[in-house]
Amino acid sequence: MAHPNPIKAGSKAPPFNYTNAGENIQSSDINGRCLLYFYPKDDTPGCTKEACALRDSWSDLLSADLTVVGVSKDSMVSHEKFIAKYQLPFPLIADTELELARAYGVYGEKKFMGRVYDSVHRMSFLIASDGTILKTYDRVKPEQHAAQVLEDLKAL
């Protein structure tokens, strides 16, 4: 098992192209900056707190010209339920084969309650309109993530 090795700021972000629920989500269509956030699993406590914090800051994120896209290995059916249950205003990518998670370096060894296993880590990437990673968030606190991103956007 390998530890995650997230892409660092200043690097070029790997492009993505996914179709979810008939909607095509691709990096080349995003105008402006993008927050690509990876999370372990739909409808779990930390993941729900993070998604709802982003939802609750939605108007501020839009005002900052930021597109938000969530990514997990959950199925599109799971994502649709998660979006509906919490009224999330942003798309979620079903990265069931972990291609995007591996490309961004967020998949790797985790330890929880004495168990060691591979999984997606809670990490995010703030990406410029030219595809350059402006900031890598490798230690995300779910409830504070949206506020942290907004602060960083003001500083850029």
Tell me if residue 96 falls in helix, strand or coil.
Answer: coil
Rounded to an integer, what distance in angstroms lies between the CA atom of residue 147 and that of residue 11? 24
In the chain, what's the furthest Cα-to-Cα distance? Answer: 43
CA angle centred on 58, ends 63 and 143, rounded to 5°: 125
Instruction: Confirm if 76 and 99 have CB atoms less than 8 A apart.
Output: no
DSSP 8-state symbol, 40 = S
CA-based nearest residue to 5, from 106, 154, 86: 106
Alpha carbon of residue 5 to chain centroid? 15
Active site residue 47: yes
Rounded to an integer, what distance in angstroms lies between the CA atom of residue 58 and that of residue 149? 12
Instruction: Out of 47, 53, 66, 123, pick the active-site residue.
Output: 47
Residue 144, amino acid: Q
Question: So which residues are the catalytic ones?
Answer: 47
